[in-house]
Structure formats: C-alpha cells, structure tokens
Amino acid sequence: MDIGLVEGMSSPGKISLRSCEYISTAGRNKKTGMIECVIKRQSRFSRFMCRHQYFPGSRYLRMYLRFLALISWKQWAIVAAAIIIIDSILIAIVLNNGEDPIAAKNKLDGVASLIDLPLIVYILAYMKWKACWHGAMNMVMSAYERSGKTDSASIAAESSIYPKAFDRFYIPFGIGGAVALALATFLGLDKVLFSAIFIEVMLWLDFKIGFGTMPGTKQASCLFQKIVSVKPPTGEQILVAQRAMQSLIEAHQEKFKEVR
C-alpha cells in the first residue's frame, strides 16, 4: 500500500514519520516501558500541499511548514525563546541612539556571526546525540521505500545511511551558501534577500533532480551522515521506528476502509 511517505524526523527517544495524510510519532513511555504511538491527521492545507508538489509557491516556505508540523511544543518553545533573545539583541543594537547607520550595520553583522558559531556547534552536538535514532528512522524508511515491508528482518537488512535523508542538504547548502554570501558582499547586494533566493533555487534543484541521487551530492550526504549525524541503532530504536511506520500504514488502511 502506497501511503505517500514524505519524510521523517528523529529526536532522542522519539521518531516521527510523515505521509501525505498523517504524522505518526512513536516513543517509549518512561513510566510503563511500553512503546506508544500517536497518530495526528495533518491540516487540510498541509495535505493539499503534500499532494500537489507542483502547486505554485515557495519551496523555502514549504520546507519551514513541514518542519513546524513535525516538531513538538517543547521544541517550539526552544525555537521561540531563541528567536526572542536574538531579536532582542539585534533590536537593541539598531535602536542605539546616535549610532551611525554603517556602524550599526557592521555591529549587526558581527552579532549575527557570533550567534552563528555557537548555533552551528549546538546543531552538530544535537545531531551526534540523536544519531542512533536517526539511523533507525533511515532504516525503516529505506525498507518501506525499497520493498514496502516493515518486519524486523527487512529493516535490519537496510543501511543506517540513507542518501535521501534531509542530511543531503547540509554540505551543498554550506558550501553554496558561503559562495552566495561572498558573491552578495562583492556585488553589494542585500545578503538576506540573496540568501533566500539561493536557498529557493537549491530547493527547486533538489526537487527536480534530487541531491540524494546526484553524483557528488549523494556522496556528500552519505559522508556527512557517516561522520556526524548517523550511528547504527540499537534494537530499541529500531522497534520505535518500526512502530511509527506500522502505525502510519494502519492509519491509511483504516481510512481506506472508511472510504470503501
């Protein structure tokens, strides 16, 4: 049964899988020790966008909406707090009375650079922390994509390295982004606007061709996963990923029965 699997997201202790219709999130209950799964139907807008991939619109915006649909309220709170703190610092600099506009802009660039470095370090450390869960998610998605199977043997036979995972973006975006910012600086263009255009172009390129299959970017994706973001999972992590996938399939089967 083709459920229109879109993507997954892993965090320490939990794995979420997203189809065109539902989001399935599985994890082990610390109190009972049982693996539990929650199925949530996506909003009408999200379902429409998933089913109409060529519908005119920004792929940059699509990416953010998909990310926000998958994160929990705790992760929402962390993101909101980070935005508030960063914006407060930037606003304080801009509103500094008597500041020369050019000097204020240089300060903003400097603060942004100081924020970027610890943010990158945090992201890489977080990836390492959840690497085994990410590997389990990759294996269950790969098994389903390859054969439509969700049994333990089929999942265990897959590699934890999945070229089509979101990791495919990191190296191309990192290298391309640095070049784009250098070019924007050289040409005197607005960096924020130029970066947004660059990301939009890259996302459309991935949609049309796929960084997970392109020579060079495919190898870069696998290398990044091997070094940073993926480790072979344990049995518990595979069971959680399996439960998320099986529950997602069951939700679609129930919907199919209702339609019939």
In this prediction, residue 104 carries a pLDDT of 58
Report the distance separating Cα 67 and Cα 59, nearest Å: 12
Report the distance separating Cα 127 and Cα 121, nearest Å: 10
Query: Is 72 part of a structural domain of the chain?
Result: yes
φ, ψ dihedrals at 23, nearest 5°: -120, 125
Query: Is 109 part of a structural domain of the chain?
Result: yes
Query: Is 86 part of a structural domain of the chain?
Result: yes
User: For strand 35-41 and strand 14-19, is the pairing parallel, antiparallel, or unpaired?
Assistant: unpaired
Query: Is 207 part of a structural domain of the chain?
Result: no
Report the distance separating Cα 164 and Cα 167, nearest Å: 8
What 3-state class would DSSP assign to 71? coil
Number of domains in the chain: 1
Query: Is 26 part of a structural domain of the chain?
Result: yes
Query: Is 121 part of a structural domain of the chain?
Result: yes
Query: Is 214 part of a structural domain of the chain?
Result: no
Residue 28 per-residue DSSP state: E
pLDDT in tens, the chain (260 residues): 678 888 899 999 999 999 989 999 999 988 888 999 999 998 888 888 888 877 777 887 887 777 766 666 666 677 667 666 666 666 665 555 555 655 555 555 655 555 666 777 878 888 899 999 999 999 999 999 988 899 999 999 999 999 988 899 888 888 888 888 888 878 877 777 888 888 889 989 998 888 988 888 999 999 999 999 999 998 899 999 999 999 999 999 887 666 55
Query: Is 143 part of a structural domain of the chain?
Result: yes
Domain residue limits at 32: 5-162+230-259
In this prediction, residue 196 carries a pLDDT of 83
